[in-house]
Structure 1
Amino acid sequence: MSHSHSHSHLHAHDLNGRNLLISIFFNIAITVAQVIGGLLSSSLALLSDALHNFSDVVSLIISYIAHKLVKRKASLKRTFGYKRAEILAAFINASTLIIVAVLLIIEAVKRFQNPQQIESNLVIWLSVMAIIGNGFSVLLLKNNAKSNMNMKSAYLHLLTDMMASVAVLVGGLLMKFYQIWWIDSVLTFLIALYLIWMGFALLKASTKVLMLFTPDSIPVDEIVTKLNSFETISNVHHVHVWQLNEEEIHFEAHVDFEKDISLTEFDVIRSKIEDFIYNKYDINHVNIQPEFGKSDTKDIIVQD
């Protein structure tokens, strides 16, 4: 059973692309300003924020490309089209979050051992600019991040960078008024830990989809038990459940019937199965292989 996408969904898809483009240009400007400012002020926190902003630019570009690829039609060579492009983008972006965080921790430890005096005024003004720019980008992507893993990966990059800029601002104020130079390294270290925490959750979620794991919300045992209670169905086995992308969950199974039914009878039962699975579990693609008197393995899960 498949379900067509509405016009409003297509409009939202175009809006996502526009918002990603706007965010890309904002973050390019912020990154350039922070690199220059970080070098002039000798602020590691500002340079680390610039590095994170650069990873934002890369992640946003990846998200935008994936966003465009998804709209390409399927073909004989690509029967699913590019429906998993956004999941792959989410995986890549989550990985870069963690890699950037590890690099920041290494630099923070080095700088903590050898703290340097920093031009705090420049740090303060540039961090304020980054907060405003990233804050606007976060608002652009916030709504769509709830339902799309690709948009969520871009949103998390921007959100964590906005929070990092807030930390840099606090550090700049402490350095300006209290000359606490080591705070620059400590804040960098804390920013990196937060990036690892946020990135790992998204990396785990996207990996589950890429590995064809059963979605956490789908109780396979319960579905099989319910289907086994259907009239004329003897046994449901050899079950596979996987998530193709944000909008499609697939279910396939072998269904053993109590008697040798006709194709017309099977179509009626198949339709009932599809409606039940869709309405109860929101699984929108169902593939049933009918069987009668076949001596195959009747286990729910069979290793192919």
Structure 2
Amino acid sequence: MAHSHSHNHSQHHHDMKGRNLMISILLNIVITAAQVVGGLVSGSLSLLSDALHNFSDVLSLIVSYIASKLSKQKASLNRTFGYKRAEILAAFVNASTLIIVAIILIKEAYERFQEPQEIESNLVIWLSLIAIIGNGFSVLLLKKSSENNINIKSAYLHMLTDMLASVAVLVGGLLMKYYQLYWVDSLLTFLIALYLIYVGYDLLKTSTKMLMLFTPDHIDLKAVVRTVNKLEKVKKLHHVHIWNLSDDELHLEAHLDLQEDISTSEFNTLLITIEALLHDKFNINHITIQPEYKKDDSKDVIVQD
């Protein structure tokens, strides 16, 4: 099946992704430095925890940026898929760091809750406002690309959770300033950590499934088999594997048991039909099929190779 791609459009999209990631990296380096200084001066754990989260964001954005660049590398004889899975690996790493940072924050929040300390709330308020503006801008930059790219989605979630964390820190700063509720600092740190675990786990699960070559959740493998089995000259599709090589590439590999001993040219015609059918109905865009006729092997849909 012929595949048509607009190279210029794809190149422009990649360039926009790289530019937006780089802007977000620079913004977060500035925000992190300001929050570390502010947290140490004010004594605010929630501000320092937000700085730690921001630092993890810087690392995650750098990982995403490198993965985005690598994914454009051409295939070679010893890297036949190139680095197309680099972005999935980046998403896995970024999701893992979200959860690790959350666990560290929970520990710190518990220790601080035992001994609440007076905090310079004015500094907390102003720095959290700066972080909200900076992270909010990063969220807007990455939002569109995050909708169809798991790597950018991982970076986007880091930015989004950091913006929400900064909102929580701002609320805490206001409560400390006007009501002297200094224990709120530890409570907000704990809540921020719980939210990080919530969003991190979902992304970790998705990226793990892709790395393990699991069948995508939106694909009904039996429905794929039934669709192909209805075609003329097809006896049974079996030994089926369906997986995401990357966000853009959904692959199918299978054996096709035929009703008749057809010629190669006839099989080519059948293959074109199958490719068009699976692309239009299931968005499967890379198909590898081994034709068989009266071959003595298992005809189960799923076979452990």
Which range, TM-score by smaller chain? over 0.9
1:205-237 per-position Cα deviation (integer Å, ceiling 9, x unaligned) = 100100000011111111111211111111111
Report whether the alignment pairs 1:232 with 2:261. no
Counterpart AA for 1:227: V
For the 8 Å contact 1:2–1:285, the answer to whether it is kept is no
Counterpart AA for 2:245: L
Paired residue secondary structure (2:119)? coil
Distance 2:162 2:260 in 1: 62
Distance 2:4 2:96 in 1: 33
Counterpart AA for 1:122: L
Q: Which residue of 1 aligns with 2:5?
A: 5
Report whether the alignment pairs 1:108 with 2:109. yes
1:58-110 per-position Cα deviation (integer Å, ceiling 9, x unaligned) = 00000000000011000011000000000000000000000000000000000
CA RMSD of aligned residues (A): 0.8
Q: Which residue of 1 aligns with 2:222?
A: 221
Distance 1:228 1:101 in 2: 49
Report whether the alignment pairs 1:14 with 2:11. no
Distance 1:4 1:126 in 2: 49
User: Following TM superposition, where does structure 1 have runs of at least 4 consecutive aligned residues deviating by more than 2 angstroms?
Assistant: 1-5
Distance 1:222 1:30 in 2: 50
Instruction: Tell me the CA shift for residue 9 of structure 1.
Output: 2.2
Q: Which residue of 1 aligns with 2:258?
A: 257
Equivalent runs, 1:33-112 vs 2, <5 Å? 33-112=34-113
Instruction: Tell me the CA shift for residue 2 of structure 1.
Output: 6.1
Counterpart AA for 1:45: S
Distance 1:158 1:142 in 2: 10
Distance 2:29 2:220 in 1: 44
Counterpart AA for 1:118: I
Distance 1:80 1:301 in 2: 24
Q: Which residue of 2 aligns with 1:206?
A: 207
Distance 2:201 2:220 in 1: 25
Instruction: Tell me the CA shift for residue 4 of structure 1.
Output: 4.1
Alignment TM-score, normalising by the size of structure 2: 0.98
Counterpart AA for 2:242: V
Q: Which residue of 2 aligns with 1:287?
A: 288
Report whether the alignment pairs 1:300 with 2:301. yes
Counterpart AA for 2:158: H
Distance 1:96 1:162 in 2: 17
Distance 2:98 2:147 in 1: 19
1:185-213 per-position Cα deviation (integer Å, ceiling 9, x unaligned) = 00000000000000001000100100000
Distance 1:214 1:96 in 2: 25
Q: Which residue of 2 aligns with 1:32?
A: 33
Alignment TM-score, normalising by the size of structure 1: 0.99
Counterpart AA for 2:237: V
Distance 1:120 1:13 in 2: 42
Instruction: Tell me the CA shift for residue 286 of structure 1.
Output: 0.5
For the 8 Å contact 1:2–1:284, the answer to whether it is kept is no
Counterpart AA for 1:214: T
Q: Which residue of 2 aligns with 1:147?
A: 148
Q: Which residue of 1 aligns with 2:192?
A: 191
Paired residue secondary structure (1:54)? helix
Q: Which residue of 2 aligns with 1:179?
A: 180
Give the direction of change, closer, same or farther, for the CA distance of 1:71–1:283 in structure 2 (3 Å limit): same
Instruction: Tell me the CA shift for residue 176 of structure 1.
Output: 0.5
Structure 1: segments with no counterpart, 5+ residues: none
1:105-147 per-position Cα deviation (integer Å, ceiling 9, x unaligned) = 0000000000000000110010001001111111100111111
Distance 1:265 1:77 in 2: 34
Distance 2:169 2:273 in 1: 58
Paired residue secondary structure (2:182)? coil
Paired residue secondary structure (1:297)? coil
For the 8 Å contact 1:43–1:119, the answer to whether it is kept is yes
